[in-house]
Amino acid sequence: MLKALKVFKELKQEDISVLGAIERLMRKYEYVPVEMIAKEAKMDINDVEYYLSRLNKFELVRRWIGPYIGYVLNMHGYDCLALHALVCKDVISAIGRKLGVGKEADVYDALTPDGRRVVLKFHRIGRISFRSVRRVRVYVGDRRHTSWLYISRLSAKREFEALKILYPLGVAVPEPIAHNRHVVVISFIDGIELSEVKELSDPQGFLGEIIENLRIAYVDGGIVHADLNAYNIIVTDDEEMLIIDWPQWVSTIHPSAEMLLRRDLKNIFKFFRKRFGIEADEEEALKYIKGE
């Protein structure tokens, strides 16, 4: 991401056009031929070669030499396309410091054109290893040729969909503002992970709030988080909460919904037992969340 920020302001519209052409053609080619890039971008092939050279120098594309010369986007190039779209749509006007790095996302501070502070979450599925293959299968089924860029895009789309459902219901989640490619723009999050909290004025009540939010998500939203733990619950200074990181959500009618809900509860109850000495009845909580 840092690479994209450094070169973004140097990019010309022609650079963006070439990046966009490669992106579209990656659906058909593992490595996109230069001739096809020129045709898709509606540019002279000599001009395209010049801009490909620039993009390669900026490390936004990867050049491949085989039976023909081809190019693919890398994550930096994909970042630039998403940033360009969000700027053009007047969603963001400035990007600030990095707020955090997760296993599958980078998070940045940003401003909207009217000065509102927001968060940019760049999904990075597959960055660490192939441990995400199980989730990838949920996203893309049996597709044989699927790039990690596309999978990251689907991850962001799924998270945005969940937030669009849950936020209007009053579930304690960030406000969804915009989505483009692998980037989700949400309201600013000001707090720390529950895993870092040593004391709560009312830990029993806080746990109750978590359960209540899971119930609303389940009963009214038809959603199970499916990856809930103490690292994706944010605690603010006044001990309000936000539940974040929703790309792995499943519908309540999914065959594994109850198993995943049980796992979410086990993770949370284990944390509250070890950190605050609170015991909770998993079966009772499960029935309550499901509205039984």
> What amino acid positions are annotated as catalytic residues?
227
Which tokens in the block code for residue 175? 């406000």
Q: How far apart are CA 18 and CA 244, in angstroms?
A: 35
How far apart are alpha carbons 48 and 127 in whole angstroms?
A: 30
Full DSSP string of 250-272: EETTSTTHHHHHHHHHHHHHHHH
CB atoms within 10 A of CB 285: 21
Strand positions, DSSP E, the chain: 32-33, 61-65, 69-73, 94-101, 105-111, 117-123, 176-180, 183-187, 192-193, 223-224, 233-235, 241-243, 250-251
